[in-house]
Structure 1
Amino acid sequence: MQMNLERLRKVAIPDRPELRVLALSTLINTFGNGLFMTIEVIYFTTVVGLSPSKVALALSIAGGISLLFSVPAGHLSDRYGPRNIGAISYIFEGMFLSCLVFVHSYLPFLFINIICGITGTVGQTMRMATISKLGTGEERVNIRAYQRTVTNFGIALGSVIAGIALGINTKSVYQGMLLANALTFILSSLVFLKLPFIAPTVEKSEPLSFEALKDRRFLGATVLNGFMSLHFVLQGVAIPLWIVNETNAPRWWVSVIMVINTIGVVLFQIRVSRGSGDIAVGALQFRRAGFAVAGACLLYALAAGVSTILACSILVLAMCAHVFGELVGSAGSWSIGFGLADEKHQGQYQGVYSLSWGVGGTIGPAFVTAMAITIGQLGWVYMAILFATTGLVMYRLVMKRWLVEQPVTK
């Protein structure tokens, strides 16, 4: 029993103090994210009175503008180090998020979301740059996997607390959640400052360079990663709409499906990511992800037009396949993103690579809704083809480069 507890402690708590600091900062921040994500749209539509379309438009505009700051943030990381800039970005984001309790109209809501989108992009780029400097190869992927596990746990915990606020359903409680979220950013920044200072890799006197934007293979990998990242949008947008509108499964089955996803990531992301430090293994993982998510899409399509019990069963199988694809795809994506990057310009490269998730999150909702809801079952087949093809092409792109430099064992 004691041996099992010790093993659990080693898995749950990193040995290196800097990794514990990074994990604590992430946990505090993502707990706030869970609070905010659960109530944001509901508060601003039902309490403030903004229309759902205006809220969605503001979030899309903010997301699009924030993408423009991803690469410049990477430059800042390479020249000045990621720690201090990351902490400053969290402080500013927390300050502006606290102002949301004073918002009563559209333009202030839009302005604050744009500022928070920019600071959020800078902060995330600094966090990724920090991970790239705290290890090499296998270590980086393992650190990223642990961070993702902490992220999911933090968001889930925050969502549970926010669920209580939804049950109480008063303006003051909602605003309390907004302020609590803002406070988590301030606290997260203070913890982030406890990380060791990471020396810049680019001299301040050196002229600006755009090495990542000149690297065609890396740009290709970024585009392909963007296509694969659409499966995250499926979970948040298309799958709930599909279950509610096109299947005979009960509405609450959406929660069951999402719980399966959260538990799967928390329990297995670290284990599945082991061994992915080798970029050849990462490419293979990415290819597996393409096939797994493609299979999940076909299963989601089959859940329409069948009995309630059968629909529920198919949806569980689909999400299990989806979770597997998410686990191996994330590990493969991190391996490729770190492995193809130039060490001197890791911050810049991670800034470019993060564009893949940003673009996917910006245009993804409209795309997956059109595929799954407007087109229907055939749209799920199209998406299955897209994911499978993306995995295959990424595998070829990565292996082609590495076969030139050194032998690669499949």
Structure 2
Amino acid sequence: MPLLPTPGPIRTLALSTLINTIGNGLWMVSSALFLTRFVGLSIGRAGLALTLVALVSLVISTPAGYLADRLGPRGVAIGALVALGLCESALVTVHSMAGFLLVATPMAVLDAAQRAARGAIIGGAVPQDRRVYTRAYLRSVTNVGLTVGAAAAGVGLTVDTRAAYLSLIVADAVTFLLAAAVLTRLAPVASAPRPRSGPRLTALRDRPFLAFVVLDGLLATNFGLFEVAVPLWIAGRTDAPRWMISVVFAVNTVAVVLLQVRAARGTETLDGAARASRRAGFTLMAACLIFPLTAVTHDVPTMILLVVAAGVHVTAELWYSAGGWGISFGLAPDQAHGQYQGTYAMGHQFGQMIAPVLVTALILGWGTPGWLLLGAAFAVVGCLIPPVVRRAAANRAPAGTRSTVDAGT
């Protein structure tokens, strides 16, 4: 795999994504401390505020995608990123929960718009057989950007003054503007014509596609499993040193950067993508069988098992992501990539929202039985995706490059 794609839309999207996600890394690491230490919110109120903002983003995803289709995704993406930069800079004036929500709520709308528009840009500017590759490449770039941003934010956290946190916010605002500037190098992507009749938000009426979105969202809880439950499990239920938490996260990050594009091979068609989602379910089950063993092992064997389990988990994560991209692009009508990508994102966001409560209740509350139950659920959900996708594909008019999911694979 070349380090850089050939000049064109993919490279432009990659550079814009890298800049934007460096800023995301700055905010991701510093937001909780900024809100609690300098805005004055309690931990509970800070969590509530961030959850409310996430809900807004979830609800607005499909309408934002429809807007991107109608107005042209390139213009929507650029406009949303510029507005995000201006809103982000306004956070330096926030001193209360109400003030934070006043700024963060429109930011959630704008963020949903730029995400859906990016999906529509890929759908409109990238050849069909390169769309999943593009999403995979951008995910690798995203992990690089988040890592760089998080590392840079560590400087501000070490200084630990209001001025340091405000500097991180301003830097994040600048990355939005720079990412927008890079996207101006893209050729305009044609907007979709307004439907003469029928509903506007067709993705929300596409029941087979919504069924896939729900199942995909349930598989998306694997991110919360790894980000929330696994660190707590390592710290509280194993004798492994705390630094093993960093080791398993490093395994995940490095694997995504190096292997996501390779893992996406074969998912350009619906049948290949559905098989990848099914493999992801069974591989997540395997990870859920390995992690509980670390509660009864000691010292080096525990550390080895944690690394193995993290490797199995990230393998499932790579297949899960690639499968979802292939299915979401394969089932979207050509004139509605924005709203279908927005609806697909809703499932992912929903899964990440319910994951912290769900996985901690099962794993930390029930221990090994909770791991086993969660693993079985992942396998069942993975098995359900191919027939759901097969039904969704059958409801669509034949398209030259779309593949029907093979019932026997």
TM-score when scaled to structure 2?
0.93
Q: 2:122 aligns with which of 105, 114, 131?
A: 131
Q: 1:353 aligns with which of 344, 348, 353?
A: 344
The residue number in structure 2 matching 1:201 is 192
CA 47–247 in structure 1, closer or farther in 2 if over 3 Å, else same: farther
The residue number in structure 2 matching 1:104 is 95
Q: 1:170 aligns with which of 136, 161, 176?
A: 161
Displacement, 1:136? 4.0
The residue number in structure 2 matching 1:343 is 334
The answer to whether the 8 A contact 2:124-2:190 is kept is no
Distance in 1 separating the partners of 2:83 and 2:354: 27
The residue number in structure 2 matching 1:69 is 60
| Alignment map for 1:273-352 (pairs within 5 Å) | 273-352=264-343
Matched, 1:262 2:253: yes
Matched, 1:388 2:362: no
The answer to whether the 8 A contact 1:142-1:270 is kept is yes
Distance in 2 separating the partners of 1:248 and 1:72: 48
1:70 aligned counterpart, secondary structure: helix
Q: 2:150 aligns with which of 159, 182, 186?
A: 159
Distance in 1 separating the partners of 2:199 and 2:320: 33
1:68 aligned counterpart, secondary structure: helix
**Unmatched 5+ stretches in structure 1:** 1-7
The residue number in structure 1 matching 2:136 is 145
Aligned residues: 401
Displacement, 1:374? 2.3
The residue number in structure 2 matching 1:182 is 173
Q: 2:225 aligns with which of 217, 223, 234?
A: 234
Q: CA RMSD in A?
A: 1.9
Q: 1:217 aligns with which of 204, 208, 223?
A: 208
Displacement, 1:363? 2.2
The residue number in structure 2 matching 1:20 is 11
The answer to whether the 8 A contact 2:270-2:405 is kept is no
| Alignment map for 1:86-97 (pairs within 5 Å) | 86-97=77-88
1:341 aligned counterpart, secondary structure: coil
Displacement, 1:267? 0.4
Displacement, 1:61? 0.8
Q: Which deviates further from its counterpart, 366-375 or 264-273?
A: 366-375
Give the residue type in structure 2 aligned to 1:296: A
**Unmatched 5+ stretches in structure 2:** none
TM-score when scaled to structure 1?
0.93
The answer to whether the 8 A contact 1:13-1:20 is kept is yes
Give the residue type in structure 1 aligned to 2:96: S
The answer to whether the 8 A contact 1:75-1:348 is kept is yes
Q: Deviations over 1:281-335 (max 9, x none)?
A: 1111111111111111221222224313222211111110011101111111100
Distance in 1 separating the partners of 2:40 and 2:368: 35
Distance in 1 separating the partners of 2:353 and 2:113: 17
The residue number in structure 1 matching 2:40 is 49
The residue number in structure 2 matching 1:366 is 357
The answer to whether the 8 A contact 1:202-1:345 is kept is no
1:209 aligned counterpart, secondary structure: coil
